[in-house]
Structure 1
Amino acid sequence: MEKAMNLEKPDRVPVMCQMSIGHMLLQTGFSPIELWCSAQVFSEALLQLRGAYIFDGILISLHGHSPDWETNIKRIEKTENELIVHWRNGDKTEFPKDDLPRNYPRSTGPTPSIAELDPSMIRDEIEYIPVSQGLDFAINAEYKFDIFQIIHEKTGSEFSIHGEVTSPFDYFLNLFGFKQALMYLLQDPSKCKKILQRFADGVKKLALEMTDQKIDAIKISSPFAGQGFISPEFYREYVLPFESQIAQSVRDRNIHVYTHTCGSIGDRLEMMVESGISGLECLDPPPLGNVELANAKNRVGHMVFIKGNIDPVNTLLYGNKETVRDDAEYCLRVGKPNGGYILSTACSIAPHTKKENVEILAEVAEEKGYY
């Protein structure tokens, strides 16, 4: 893995995919509450599936689990398809057996107005991960990186360990809501940049702390920075400067850093590389996105490593062993030459993807991936 990320030729093309929470639940059978709330259970699920799929690395996407989470539960309600936790603070969280939780706070304050918000009041300590719209994962500062220690105790340096932080742009969208946030970019660009800078300071601090956890790489999750959401001009103005600060600070620690952006990014590949990252993940192919692997390899493959391009929906979820094998072999033919390629799904493995389809990836890498 290290050689691939260094744009060198390893003995074999490495294989590593991010897994959705739903897929982890369905394949391990763990309680959806425990998988989300417990560092021990989440780490065990990561390790089990890494072994089952023979991945060469593990992505730790959630961290900062609170060890006393169970004491905050008032009662648990069971239905046919989910568990519903009623928390002592009045919040309610629905935990499906095949998807992310859905959280319903007891009360929500008004969405802040940019006119009233003082950017200096945004703390430079990141306290949560904006996992999905309306779903945050609280980071317990006292136990911020416990899960990394758990993983290391069980694996040592046998596999590549990757951490994850979230783009400042995501925190900005999360603060105001998507629609209003985009309006503010037009109405008050100067103040938007001040807010983005505060979030960038916090994410950079978190990323630098993460580099002390014996990791090999950090992924910058930036799902809403593609051309289906913002223009190249807005990307250069509101995403690139702030992700660049994070990427360059991590690279200064001799740790790899790569960006994950969903959907169509064909119009901004070179711009993304300008941030100083060492790799690009996702590169959704048509119809999910517009990136052809051969085109991306030709344009930026000599500057950054490429991780992805297998369609997680039409190939892995809806396909069969033959279609998965065909797609994986194609990606190896295109991505393998000259090194710098990691065989992976573009985005996360979808919840109901068959285990047998995922297993094909390591098989193909073993058969066709050696240099």
Structure 2
Amino acid sequence: MVPQEMTEICNKRMMAALNMEKPDRIPILFSGHCYYNFIDPTMVMADFWRRPKLVDENLIKAAELPILKEIDSPPMVSLGMPAETKHQSFAAKWFAKMKVPGRELPENALWQISEQGPMTEEDYDTIINKGWNYLKQELLKRIGFDPDALPKPDIDYGKKLQVKVAALGKQNIGRAGGMLPFPPFEVLSGARKLPKFFRDLYRIPDKVRAALDIVEDECVEESAKLIDAIPGEYGFIGGTRAGCDFISSKVFEKFYFPYYRKLVPMMHKKNVKAWLHMDGNWELFLHYFAEFPKASCVWDPDHITDIRKIKEILGDKMCITGNVPPALTSVGTPEDCYNYARDLVELFKDDGGFIMNSGCSVPPNAKRENVEAVVLATLGK
């Protein structure tokens, strides 16, 4: 079977799950997999900055290993984007800076977002009077973020990598819009720093809500433009610190969920699914998301929210991914990983709309035999 035919099978499998239909088998989509050390155990996280081409090469080699080749998702190669540019731009979405392994951190440490908190209480008025885009540019200046000063992408190298990845025959379901704006509640909590922002919610709630109305509307408009510019089947939306382990239902209803009521319908009209990547515990808030049209969203949890509760409340409304804990693949045994994955298969076997996935991401220290066990369990071997 040629790679293009394999990709078509993987895409059909993925789209069936996303549309809550039963595919030929459960798709396997491991997020954030850093399998470079399956090829060279001496490699460390700092190599993403120091030896990116070697990381790319080993990620592609790992995708061709026995058993791992059954994973439907492609390896997360750089596509020519320097790690410094990618990660500093990512951190800047919260008006933060990125601490880098091998520089500010030990060589094999995970990169870490370091919040700067450049936004003042007076800046709520700036948003209300001058708009979010005006303040956003000002906040980036305050933290010293200059995108033009970052390393430029290597476009020619990126094209060559695309050819190598295509030869693997993995799914290539597109992410619409690239990196969509994150929920304004989350962004402002980073801009203000979390303790100050949470105090604002109680000290000046009406002003925060008025500012959020403006930020939300601008973010929905920006998302619509990005989706039109970069077509795809789903749009990624990250939820990080607004679950029920962070805020009350009252705060969630007033300050967080209104954004989803604006964003998801817009995406649905454009035939783009909202991929809701939800870190933390959302158990008490799951029922809010059941109001959206069937198959218009994907619930992508980490391992904290009980997946049985997710299935109970959202199982007939949206595709669910799940949710092998990162700790299990890093410090567990192959038997532990196999049994966990088999339990997931049993839970969803009679329904469509399930994708086998890691909880958030497969950690860099995941053991190869543990990842293989999850794959084998999904395949029923």
Give the equivalent residue in structure 2 for 1:291: 306
Question: Is the contact made by 1:204 and 1:246 (CA closer than 8 Å) also made in structure 2?
Answer: no
Q: 2:300 aligns with which of 252, 258, 281?
A: 281
> SS of the residue aligned with 2:289?
helix
Pair 1:123 & 2:133 matched: yes
Task: Report the RMSD for the aligned CA atoms in angstroms.
Answer: 4.2
Partner-residue secondary structure (3-state), 1:268? helix
| Counterpart Cα distance in 1 of 2:298 and 2:23 | 16
Shift of 1:2: 0.6
- Normalised TM-score (structure 1): 0.72
Q: Give the Å deviation of 1:187.
A: 1.8
> Structure 2 vs 1, CA of residues 173 and 331 (structure 1 numbering), >3 Å: closer, same or farther?
same
| Identical residues among aligned pairs (%) | 18
One-letter code aligned to 1:344 = N
Structure number with higher strand proportion: 1
| SS at 1:328 equivalent | helix
> Partner of 2:97 in structure 1?
none
Matches of 1:139 and 1:58, distance apart in 2: 30
Match of 1:310 in 2: 324
Give the Å deviation of 1:335.
Answer: 1.7
2:347 equivalent in structure 1: 334
1:188 pairs with 2:204:
yes
Q: Relative to 1, partners in 2 of residues 1:266 and 1:102: Cα closer, same or farther, differing over 3 Å?
A: closer
Q: Distance in 2 between matches of 1:349 and 1:250?
A: 28
CA contact (8 A) 1:111 1:176 kept: yes
Q: CA 1:148–1:279 in 2, change beyond 3 Å: closer, same or farther? A: farther
Shift of 1:151: 6.9
SS at match of 1:308: strand
Structure 2: distance between partners of 1:252 and 1:64: 33
Aligned to 2:3: none
CA shift digits 1:177-206 (9 cap, x unpaired): 000101111122222223334443236514
CA distance in 2, matches of 1:280, 1:15: 15
| Distance 1:188-1:291 versus aligned 2 partners, 3 A rule | same
5+ long unaligned stretches in structure 2: 1-13, 86-99
| Runs of 5+ consecutive residues of structure 1 not aligned to the other structure | 70-80, 85-92
Q: Which moved more, 1:224-233 or 1:250-259?
A: 250-259
Deviation at 1:248, TM superposition (A): 2.5
Aligned length: 332
Tell me which residue corresponds to 1:236.
Answer: 253
Task: Say if 2:103 is the partner of 1:96.
Answer: no
Letter in 2 for 1:7: M
Q: Are 2:183 and 1:170 equivalent residues in the alignment?
A: no
The one-letter amino acid paired with 2:345 is: L
Rounded to whole Å, the distance in 1 between the matches of 2:119 and 2:49 is 26
Aligned pair in 2 of structure 1 residues 169, 304: CA closer, same or farther (>3 Å)? same
Q: 1:324 aligns to what?
A: 337
- 1:185 and 1:192 in contact (8 A); partners too: yes
Question: Residues 63, 155 of structure 1: CA spacing in aligned structure 2 closer, same or farther, 3 A cutoff?
Answer: closer
Aligned equivalents of 1:16, 1:257: Cα separation in 2: 17
**TM superposition shift of 1:302:** 0.8
Name the one with the larger helix percent. 2
Per-residue CA deviation, residues 247-289 of structure 1 (Å, 9 max, x unaligned), is: 23222222222212222221111213335651111153xxxx3
**Counterpart of 1:270 in structure 2: which amino acid?**
H
| Partner residue in 2 for 1:223 | 240
